[in-house]
Amino acid sequence: MTQERNSKVGIASAFVLAPLLLIASLLAMGGPKAPASRFHNAPLSADQQKNPYAGKAAAAKAGAGLYYLSCSSCHGNDARGVGDARTLRSGATQSAPDGELFWFITTGEPEKGMPPFTYLSEQQRWQIVTYVKSLSDSKLKRRNLTGVPTRSSQARGK
């Protein structure tokens, strides 16, 4: 009977100690870590910024011109990337919230070759965000926002 009692006490102790050990190890490591999936380590506050031009064709068109002047030398005229600069048509750029992309355009990452574009107005930076978000390959198949004539637009006389 004593052996059975000691066994039950041991099991009960394990159920109490296991969560305590887990909590202690998390505290020792500095607590739970935030997910590392933020676009270029954008702060959580970037998510609070809403794109006032999202989905607006006129803003995307204005953003296309600004993109050509400010971004195409590194990311290419077609936004597929040049050298170390990544494509903007897919991946993290297309899946990032607009606010995180705006934050990154504003602050840049100079040590990795991305300058901050604070010389552009807030409106212009949002227009670039709007244009870049319009560049996913699936969206471009439905409409031509690049300003580059396509065969179908030439056939329609546009």
- Which residues have CB under 8 Å from 26's CB, separation 6+? 32
Which of 29-33, 37-41, 64-68, 117-121 shows the lowest mean pLDDT across its residues? 29-33
Read off the tokens for 12: 């009960």
Q: Tell me, yes or no, whether 3 lies in a domain.
A: yes
* pLDDT tier for residue 33 given thresholds of 50, 70 and 90: very low
- Average pLDDT over all residues of the chain: 76
d(CA 15, CA 23): 13
d(CA 44, CA 34): 10
Q: Tell me, yes or no, whether 156 lies in a domain.
A: no
Which range of residues forms the domain containing residue 87? 39-146
Give 114's strand partners: 109
Q: Tell me, yes or no, whether 10 lies in a domain.
A: yes
For residues 112-132, give the mean pLDDT. 96
Q: Is the pTM of this model over 0.95?
A: no
Measuring CA to CA, which residue among 36, 147, 34, 42 is closest to residue 98?
42
Q: Tell me, yes or no, whether 154 lies in a domain.
A: no
Do 27 and 56 reside in the same domain of the chain? no
The predicted structure's pLDDT at residue 3: 59
Do 125 and 48 reside in the same domain of the chain? yes
**How many domains in the chain?**
2
Q: How many CB atoms lie within 10 A of CB 110?
A: 9
Do 68 and 104 reside in the same domain of the chain? yes
Q: State whether residue 40 is helix, strand or coil.
A: helix
Q: Tell me, yes or no, whether 153 lies in a domain.
A: no
Looking at per-residue pLDDT, the higher value among 122 and 138 belongs to 122
